[in-house]
Structure 1
């Protein structure tokens, strides 16, 4: 059963949802060494996240790449704008507004949200959907 964690950026916190996502990726990669898929249904968002991960911190390196442009067997952090990759990842980070149809394939799903009204409303709908399915949910307020 997939464990689902919502990470909500507090009002007035510095950064946006992509910054929060970079922080999550850094923590999961550094502390747990898990393979991560970043689900970005919009190609522009996928490219923006790719750039952000390269420049996120001067003192770290997050080995990542876009699905179709990198070898998925050698890259622990993948960014996909067109669905799930063929290889196995352990953590799904959803940057889409809908429930990913393939989320149950993952041990863990992270849902980063900022204070954008569209993002928050979509996050509430996804939370309700997961709750109706009886999935384990947690919510974390991030400053």
Structure 2
């Protein structure tokens, strides 16, 4: 099973995506992994762009959007596309963004709002696709204190 992508599902409950995403991105960068974050709309890309500059007063996450020059140079690239111009090892899918194939990634991470029935249905469908493709899948749920626990 070498070469198969790990597909992780993060079930957002107690905290919004805007609180969870920066922490997960930081962990990826600490491992030396480039990331691409695929959102469902240009407006969400713009909101994430602002978030990653301002989520923490003491730091920021180096990033850019695919509408800016040199997307290939970005450690974190924000996009609505399923392309991978920055050769990311990890792809994040937020707010219902869907990826057809997982090849070429170490990890694909679905962040979904458990209170949104449409996002829940999309996550379940993507789980089935990942499992049927033989990928290693894992489900993570937030505890009451906001920590992630694998289920």
Could you tell me the TM-score, scaled by structure 1's length? 0.86
| Deviation of 1:82 (Å) | 2.5
**Greater relative CO (CA pairs within 8 A, separation 6+):** 1
Runs of 4+ aligned residues of structure 1 deviating over 6 Å after TM superposition are: none
Q: Secondary structure at the match of 1:104?
A: coil
2:53 is aligned with 1:50: no
Which residue of the other structure, out of 6, 10, 25, is the alignment partner of 2:9? 6
What is aligned with 1:126? 126
* Structure 2, gaps ≥5 residues long: 147-151
Tell me, in whole angstroms, the C-alpha distance in 1 between the residues paired with 2:97 and 2:63. 24
| Deviation of 1:103 (Å) | 2.7
Paired residues, what number?
139
Q: Secondary structure at the match of 2:85?
A: coil
What is aligned with 2:108? 109
Tell me, in whole angstroms, the C-alpha distance in 1 between the residues paired with 2:69 and 2:63. 8
What is aligned with 2:34? 35
| Deviation of 1:5 (Å) | 1.0
Could you tell me the TM-score, scaled by structure 2's length? 0.82
2:103 is aligned with 1:100: no
Give CA-to-partner distance per residue, 1:10-29, whole Å, 9 cap, x none.
3xx13x12322222112212
| Deviation of 1:107 (Å) | 1.4
* Structure 1, gaps ≥5 residues long: none
